[in-house]
A and B are shown apart, each in its own frame.
Chain A
Amino acid sequence: MADSSTTLNRSSGPPKTKVAPWNDPKVRGFFFQVVLLVALLWFCWWLFANTTANLERQKIASGFDFLGTTAGFGIIQTPIDYSETSTYGRAFMVGLINTLIVSVIGCVVATVLGFLIGVARLSHNWLVSRLAAVYIEIFRNIPLLLQIFFWYFVVLRLLPHPRDSLRPFSDVYINVRGIFTPNPVPLDGFSVVVIAFVVAVVAIVFLRRWATRRQESTGQTFPVFWTSVGLLVLLPLIGAAVTGFPMTWEYPKATRFSISGGFTIYPELAAMVMALSVYTASFIAEIVRAGILAVSHGQTEAAHSLGLRNGPTLRLVIIPQAMRVIIPPLTSQYLNLTKNSSLSAAIAYPELVSVFAGTVLNQTGQAIEVIGITMLVYATISLSISAGMNIYNKKMALVER
């Protein structure tokens, strides 16, 4: 308000009469800014003082010391070492990592699924495009929580009791308690394999650069993709062979009640990934469709007249341009998926909200601290995703030559 009147005054030109300070828009503007600031500070202080006074009066514990005390409860999926004797702080870490696990897997699956369906939606094949449309309309319009329950209880109902586990391979068990596979245990010398893998990745980066440069100067293409796959597989394999395969497998075993040992994918994680990615993919499909439609048809015709077939046209001409339109809304889908993962508490997947803002909050009663930390974590994750996607967006943006 102050600003607009200032500009008005200025534009009204020369007649420079002296005004009283309380009529001077600049002084007034400044005065009200100060008033607002003071009021804001007062409000914050009041919130803080009132809260602490109330906590004190009701004798509710406060502070962050609780993070160091023993949690005393068990968690089913523990990607890092955790037991009942670990601290609340450790339980927080477990919850956080479980959130990241389900979000990252969910984002990857949702992206792949979303791109496939988005492209299918534009297919000239009537059946394919209809099916894609039906998929989108169904999964976009049913509340996510219902879908989570649906997948969870479908998964539970379809899978057999541990006694009658499905065994697609001799050491893989699939039953209502999860998917149990052998777990690779690295032995001494495994670092060679890791180093070989890193070398492969670096080699691929250089290979791509070289291939692009060669194509630009000579027009010849190089099968970068298959060479990369070959490198990624072969180099670590050679490393392993040289060091005598420094790895054993820990096999799952049938016990009285279930299967134990090995690597386990719990039904809660499976159902969450399923629900989150199927749901989010329906939005991503629409984003992809919009992105592709935003690239003018002239581009396709131009590519065709240069002799590119449909596949390469899509991959080399349409998608790279569509990405500029796709990335910003795609970022919000990733953010949504990550935040939606907090619905996991409903089906016992132990992520941050369930473990920390649930059990820990309930045991300690320190709602303000716990919710504060949780909000901070989500804000950090979201800002990181945004930052990452912004960098990617910059890279994909139209490079003007």
Chain B
Amino acid sequence: MRKLIGTAIAATAVAGLAFGAQASTLDDVKAKGHVQCGVSQGLPGFSNPDEKGNWSGLDVDVCRAVAAAIFGSGDAVKFTPLSAKERFTALQSGEVDLLSRNTTWTLSRDTALGLDFTGVSYYDGQGFMVRKDLGVKSAKELSGAAVCTNTGTTTELNVADYFRTNKMDYKVVAFEKADEVVAAYDAGRCDVYTTDQSGIAAQRTKLKEPGAHIILPEVISKEPLGPAVRHGDNQWGDIVRWTLNALITAEEFGVEKGNVASMKDSKNPEIRRLVSAEGTMCENLGLQPGCFANAIAAVGNYGEVFERNVGPSTPLGLGRGLNELWSKGGIMYSPPFR
């Protein structure tokens, strides 16, 4: 009986406490000593673990940059692999602090799902891959085809829209895990594999004969992929947003992993503000001075991140395209650091 009363009192106390308090994500992260980052379950070039469990990729570098901005080290981060279906619940429930998992910024995700997108780290669009020997040259020929894809993605919705607007029939075979999609497509279950173009390039490397498949010319959607945080903690959202912007600005002004240390002596005021030689940019976000310099020192600028993970010299071999800086014909654009 005593125990019961004790439990009741404890429950009441806990209830009272938990109800009011709502710590900020930054405080939580600082207390933990690391950023908990939601990534994919293995998408080469974006977020992929090696045999030793070290994660690398463009999305991973965004996490590392945020960690470096807060803690000064790009290693103060832990990764949670999430399927497309699990990712939003994981973020909403606080299991991860930051979702950086080739996630498309859409209106309903931004609103009804209670998320905030903090910029675009990769401008993408949805494409189709088919076996060469099918002889298909255009997505318009795909009426009656079986299409393999992931559940819980924009992909699943876009493909429905595309076939509906073009009055074509299709059979969608939707798996939870990306590896099963690839395996089923490879086993001939589907004629078509569809996802983001970048995803196709990445998953293609897992096929038995990557050369036996072609990517069709049609791009059927806009897929701005970017990091997302929980709605309602603006400070945390700003930290992620401006860390990503810092990487883009760094590329624009020629600040690199190798030279960021010496940029404190730069004459350019924007660069000086970026590396905290002037102004209180980091302090405004609630971080230590030098936060962006640390982020750049950890992963390099956006161009370096791109080249290292998905660029022409990697197995993915993607060109910059839309992801080129605005000043060089692309649409990668950061608001000013001032």
Contact = CB atoms under 8 A, between A and B. Distances in A.
Interface of A: 1-2, 28, 32, 35-36, 39, 42-43, 46, 49-50, 53, 55, 57-61, 72-76, 84-85, 153, 156-157, 161, 176-177, 255-258, 260, 267-268, 345-348, 350, 354, 358-359, 361-365, 367
A345 B83 CA distance: 12
- Give the size range of B's interface with the partner: 35 or more
Interface string B84-99: 1100110010000000
B111 A268 contact: no
A77 to B, nearest CB: 9
A117 B315 CA distance: 52
B295 to A, nearest CB: 27
A76 B189 CA distance: 13
Interface of B: 1, 4-5, 7-8, 11-12, 15, 18-19, 22, 84-85, 88-89, 92, 108-109, 111-114, 134, 141-146, 151-152, 156-157, 159-161, 163-164, 169-177, 180, 183-184, 187-189, 191, 230-232
A46 B111 contact: no
A36 B88 contact: no
A176 B18 contact: no
Nearest to A175: B188
A183 B324 CA distance: 55
Given A35-B5, A156-B184, A257 B145 contact: yes
Contacts of A2: 1
Contact of A153 (B88, B143, B177, B183): B183
Given A32-B4, A76-B173, A358 B85 contact: yes
A260 B144 contact: yes
Interface residues of A, dominant DSSP = helix
Contacts of A348: 173-175, 180, 184
Given A258-B145, A347-B184, 14 more contacts: A35-B4, A36-B8, A39-B12, A42-B15, A73-B174, A74-B159, A74-B163, A74-B172, A176-B188, A267-B189, A345-B176, A347-B180, A358-B152, A361-B85
B156 A176 contact: no
Contacts of B4: 32, 35-36
A95 to B, nearest CB: 12
Nearest to B109: A365
10 contacts: A39-B8, A42-B15, A43-B11, A57-B22, A58-B92, A58-B231, A73-B157, A157-B187, A361-B85, A365-B113
Contacts of B169: 260
A60 B15 contact: no
